[in-house]
Amino acid sequence: MLLKIEKRPEASQLMVYATPIFALILTILTGSFLFHFLGVDPVEGLRNFFIKPIDNTYGATELLVKATPLILCAIGLSVGFRANVWNIGAEGQLTMGAIFGGGVFVYFHDVDSVFLLPMMIVMGAIGGALWAAIPAFLKTRFNANEILTSLMLVYVALLVLSLLVHGSWRDPDGFNFPESRLFSDSATMPILIEGTRLHFGTIIALFAVLGTWIMLSKTLIGFQVKVIGAAPKAGGYAGFSQKKIIWFSLLFGGAMAGLAGVSEVSGPVGQLLPSISPGYGFTAIIVAFLGRLHPVGIIFAGLLMALTYLGGETAQINLGLPVAVTGVFQGMVLFYLLACDVLVNFRIRFTLFGRAAS
């Protein structure tokens, strides 16, 4: 008796949108076993991971703070993924956005102007887009794999950031620590709710979601993205340029990631440090697929992934668990999502002597 995997004639649309829920349920069930093996009561472990971090106003606002860069990065990646342009380097583009945006303050730290923060936001988007332009050029000019080029550029961006904060951008009054000057009030995102860290970057993320939804559903470029992604040959016959879509997808994704970077350094971080992200750019890949590449779905997926960061920190403090539990839960969500997707698009059949077993 052998196992045979066959492609289904047509995937159920209901199941396509239900699989993220199944993936979450399976993650919670597996997580309970994980807590048991770690010597923690499963109910208490799940409560500390999923409920306790957001059981008060401050925790709820922290969820939005963590979700902001995830949503910005994921909304940019989703456009590329729809077009079959696989930008895996959002983490590097986020870093370059932080460098370009934070660099405006470094060079104009003695300027107190209402135009400083808007300039930082614009430069952050430009920085991320310019970094994404490198794999776009290599893809369209030399057919280089954008997965590899965008991923390798992540580590280049991190090294550039480290070079700057250890070198010329280091705070002269910072006792030789590798960090830039603390951002002034004019270079900091306005706080939305007093007593919390919820900042204006969350509003930017919501506008980005709305703008992307309008672009994908109401504009010609959005239609081209979907056609090129679903049927490249049909798009070619219709006169749509695949190279144009590659450039647009990567630049758009880079700009969104750059906005995420500048919102972090001018928001909760407040300065340039050697490390400004715990891996938001990589986690955003999970967010994009968990949200089914839909702007609204990405909001909910971003909140869920943000909860894993908060839950990991809470479990570390209250239960003495390693911080790696965050990555384990994120990995389980992705694993079960992919597994469910396989079963939605394929069916498993048992074959006996070359014939399907009944």
Position 144: which residue type?
A
Please report the pLDDT score of residue 73 as a whole number: 98
At 164 the pLDDT is 97
What distance in Å separates the CA atoms of residue 179 and residue 346, rounded to the nearest whole number? 51
Q: Which residues pair with 221 in a beta bridge?
A: none
What is the pTM (predicted TM-score) of this model? 0.94
Whole-number Å distance between alpha carbons of 236 and 239: 5
The backbone torsions φ and ψ at residue 355, rounded to the nearest 5 degrees and listed phi first, read -120, 150
CB distance 305 to 77 below 8 Å: no
Fill in the amino acid letter for 265: V
pLDDT tens digits, the chain, 358 residues: what are they?
A: 677 888 888 878 888 889 999 999 999 999 999 999 999 999 999 999 999 999 999 999 999 999 999 999 999 999 999 999 999 999 999 999 999 999 999 999 999 999 999 999 999 999 999 999 999 999 999 999 999 999 999 999 999 999 999 999 999 998 899 999 999 999 999 999 999 999 999 999 999 999 999 999 999 999 999 999 988 888 888 889 999 999 999 999 999 999 999 999 999 999 999 999 999 999 999 999 999 999 999 999 999 999 999 999 999 999 999 988 999 999 999 999 999 998 888 888 877 655 554 4
Q: How long, in residues, is the chain?
A: 358
| Helix H or strand E encompassing 315 | helix 295-319
3-state secondary structure 77-97: HHHHHHCCCCCCCHHHHHHHH
pLDDT of residue 337: 93
Nearest-angstrom CA–CA distance, 49 and 298 = 21
Query: Count of CB atoms within 10 A of residue 341's CB?
Result: 17
Alpha carbon 327 to its chain centroid, in Å, reads 14
| Alpha carbon distance 345, 7 (integer Å) | 6
Domain boundaries, the chain: 64-292
